[in-house]
Amino acid sequence: MSGPSPQPTASGWRLNLNILSIVVFNFVNYLTIGLPLAVLPGYVHNHMGYSAFWAGLVISLQYLATLLSRPWAGRYADRVGAKRIVVLGLFGCLLSGICYFLSLLGDTIPLLAMGMLCTGRVILGVGQSFVGTGATLWGVGAVGSLHIGKVISWNGVASYGALAVGAPLGVWLFFLGGLGLLSGVIIAVCVLAIMAAIPRQPVKTAGGKKIPFSAVVGLIWRYGLVLAFASCGFGVIATFITLFYEDKGWSGAAFALTLFSLAFVGARLLFPNSINRHGGLRVSMLCFIVEIAGLLLVWQAVTPWMAQIGALLTGAGFSLVFPALGVVAMKAVPPQNQGSALATFTAFMDLSLGVVGPLAGVLMAHAGVSSIYLVAAVLVLAGLIMTLMLRRRVLRNRASGQVS
């Protein structure tokens, strides 16, 4: 139960500009993730001569580091403030670029070069969790807790927009100047972001005694579990739609992914006030229904356009789940613990996306590619049922005079 917090007076376009001036640091964060994303697997496998396993491990190390460092990012943000965490995270992104560059100096010693790449990926993963958590809390502190949903939504737009821009840009930079030019751009972008962040006005950390981390987890784990179920739909579309198209003998998987991404970003831009207007749990329930419809359409697709519409609906449905549930989760804890709550809540999605890949791979081997979309729809349905139960619990608590 969070107490009231001061609400800055910005509104309309000024409110959005205030938010964007802070989430731009998360854009830089995800740009440093996107730039090497499509380059490093091929570089490790083809140039350095390592197996596909090691190529995959280099990428996966970042996600593992992000997952493990999420709770620490939240606790440090509650303790030292969101701005410091963002700056520290940006330094992590900067160090990752330096590690990529140093791997070139050890190119004649493959083990040393691989060690530098792996170190850079781990540091980047920590930087991602710090900047992602800090930028959200910084934005909320700057515009007020009334606009939590809008801040989370804009952070998502910045994140996925940066990945969409970063991957092709990274391939182009690598073509022009190899890993050296790519590393140089990452370093330069991070230096500019750090120089822009340091003079910015910090926001005050909430006073009061913090509740234990275990208590934070106890208050928000239900919302995190619902988010994990919803993320299954996101994971099977983003990861396996290309294999699904190949299995069907179709072309155009890239267009399905484009529709998925456009629907994801578009829903956040078109419905920025829906969470404040209708409440996070009600918005989540509607989103689950749309996501389930999309997954079932992909499962039953007999033509490419059916799969494309399914991908579009899945992207639109999943889009608002994170901010809608995030608003409820953050408001379930005191203001001085909201960093821990946000980081722990986000870790449920990280864990879900990490588990979905291998489990879906096993399922595909036994029941075919299409089966993963049916199972994902069932899991999202479980999330919908849990959300209905949470909403009943909230209404029951309100009726009895308790704070939800």
For residues 341 and 263, the answer to whether their CB atoms sit within 8 Å is no
Read off the pLDDT of residues 221-248 as tens digits, 9 standing for 90 and up. 999 999 999 999 988 887 788 788 888 9
Residue 204 vs residues 8, 74, 83, 321, 379: alpha-carbon distances, Å: 13, 15, 10, 28, 40
pLDDT at 7: 46
How many other C-beta atoms lie within 10 A of the C-beta of residue 143? 24
Say which residues have a Cβ less than 8 Å from residue 108's Cβ, sequence separation at least 6. none
pLDDT at 288: 96
The CATH 1.20.1250.20 portion of the chain extends over 13-197, 213-399
- Tokens matching residue 135: 């930028």
Q: Evaluate if residue 10 carries a pLDDT over 70.
A: no
Average pLDDT (312-319) is 93
Q: How far apart are CA 96 and CA 122, in angstroms?
A: 8
Model confidence band, residue 215 (pLDDT cutoffs 50, 70, 90): confident
Domain 13-197: CATH architecture, name and number where available: Up-down Bundle (1.20)
Q: Locate tokens 């990012």: which residue?
A: 73
Domain 213-399: CATH architecture, name and number where available: Up-down Bundle (1.20)
- Tokens matching residue 241: 């739609």
Please state whether the predicted TM-score (pTM) of the whole model is above 0.75. Answer: yes
- Tokens matching residue 127: 């930087």
Read off the pLDDT of residues 252-301 as tens digits, 9 standing for 90 and up. 887 888 888 888 888 888 887 888 888 889 999 999 999 999 999 999 99
Residue of higher predicted confidence among 154 and 361: 154
For residues 304 and 253, the answer to whether their CB atoms sit within 8 Å is no
Q: How far apart are CA 280 and CA 216, in angstroms?
A: 19
Judge residue 170's burial from the number of C-beta atoms within 10 Å of its C-beta, 0-12 exposed, 13-18 middle, 19 or more buried.
Answer: buried
Q: Evaluate if residue 316 carries a pLDDT over 80.
A: yes
Q: How far apart are CA 248 and CA 271, in angstroms?
A: 35
Q: How far apart are CA 52 and CA 49, in angstroms?
A: 9
Closest CA to 162 of 70, 267, 257, 25: 25
Q: Evaluate if residue 1 carries a pLDDT over 50.
A: no
Read off the pLDDT of residues 73-126 as tens digits, 9 standing for 90 and up. 888 888 888 899 999 999 999 999 999 999 988 777 888 889 999 999 999 999
pLDDT at 50: 78
Ranges 142-146, 317-321, 342-346: which has the least confidence: 142-146
